[in-house]
Structure 1
Amino acid sequence: MKNKEFAITENVLASQGQRFLNVIIDSLFIYILVLSAGTTIVLIGEATNNFAVSGWVENMNFVEIVAYGLLILFLYYFLSEVYFSRTLAKLVTRTVVVRSDGSKPTIKMIFIRTISRFIVFESLSYLGGISRGWHDSLSGTYVVKKEKLAKSKHYFQHPEEFGRVE
């Protein structure tokens, strides 16, 4: 009896190198977003003579800075993965977030995925031979190589074409 449903296999998963590069690129981009948003708020506050707002940004305490950074981080990951199934880094590394059947994740899955990033030591969940982090396994999502996923799905749907020379 044939398997009727496509499933993600090991060969389409993003490599640990790609995952590491995703973390580096996304972290840099989030840092730029945090600085840009803060600078924009200050400039708007000063342009509108609302010095309370610009003063607040300029004099944020540690807790406010962390909360502000976490809000930006949450919005970046959640919105980009909900709308595009990828972040800027995943665009660069040609990877994408999918469900176990290769389809686009639900909003609930992306929400769980994003919230899971806040677990202490979550970033260490990649150490060893595991190519899925806690935010992947808790949300039921996978980060895969986009082109390999497309080919695998194509050959799954058209097995008669497998092995043909293009």
Structure 2
Amino acid sequence: METKEFTITDDLLASKGQRFLNLIIDLFIVYMFTVGIGAAINIMGELTGNFKLSEWITSLTIVENVIFALVVMFFYYTIMELYFSRTFGKYFTKTMVVKHNGIRPKAKSVVIRTLVRLIPIEAFSFLSSNARGWHDTLSVTYVINRHEYISRMKL
């Protein structure tokens, strides 16, 4: 049986507009998860009468809140991209993450993508003419248009 090599070409890549929309949607989802976790901890404290956790949550400084949000962000991106090759933002923009040969990224690539996203100035890596950011380049992954990819894979 003959196997054909598939290569991601520039015309499959998601646009900068799609990538920006992915970022906005995903940051909103991460924010909602972060607030939801904090609210759930407060509710559990109220229900159990144990207010130590809820007092801890309400006493977090801005820096601690940012660290908490970064932890939530790490788990969100890692879980979503590892198991689904897409986040909620990518779902709405009909894009997905793949390796250079069109297969799903493995855990190592997804963790690298996610860790690089935590670099504060990483979002500015999209300002160059290249449509790929540092988290794509360093993990050797691509964000592509899902429907175009599926139709090409069928050929």
TM-score range, shorter chain: over 0.9
> Aligned to 1:102, what secondary structure does the other structure show?
coil
Residue aligning to 1:78 = 78
> Aligned to 1:104, what secondary structure does the other structure show?
coil
Residue aligning to 1:133 = 133
Larger displacement relative to structure 2 (61-70 or 79-88): 61-70
Residue aligning to 1:47 = 47
Deviations 1:15-53 (A, max 9, x none): 111000001111111111111110011100111111111
Report the CA distance between 1:58 and its aligned residue: 1.0
CA distance in 1, matches of 2:19, 2:79: 19
CA distance in 2, matches of 1:141, 1:43: 40
Report the CA distance between 1:129 and its aligned residue: 1.8
CA distance in 2, matches of 1:19, 1:119: 17
Report the CA distance between 1:154 and its aligned residue: 2.1
Once the two structures are superposed, the pairs formed by residues 79-118 of structure 1 within 5 Å of their partners are 79-118=79-118
Once the two structures are superposed, the pairs formed by residues 3-14 of structure 1 within 5 Å of their partners are 4-14=4-14
With normalisation by structure 2, the TM-score equals 0.95
CA distance in 1, matches of 2:20, 2:61: 31
Give the superposed CA RMSD. 1.2
Aligned residues: 153
> Aligned to 1:96, what secondary structure does the other structure show?
strand
Residue aligning to 1:58 = 58
Amino acid in structure 2 at the alignment position of 1:116: V
CA distance in 2, matches of 1:113, 1:60: 28
Deviations 1:71-93 (A, max 9, x none): 00001000000110100000000
> Aligned to 1:98, what secondary structure does the other structure show?
strand
CA distance in 1, matches of 2:53, 2:120: 32
Report the CA distance between 1:108 and its aligned residue: 0.5
Query: Structure 1: 5+ residue runs without aligned partners?
Result: 156-166
Amino acid in structure 1 at the alignment position of 2:79: L
Residue aligning to 2:124 = 124
CA distance in 2, matches of 1:31, 1:63: 15
Q: Is the radius of gyration larger for structure 1 or structure 2?
A: 1
Residue aligning to 2:144 = 144
Amino acid in structure 2 at the alignment position of 1:89: G
Amino acid in structure 2 at the alignment position of 1:141: T
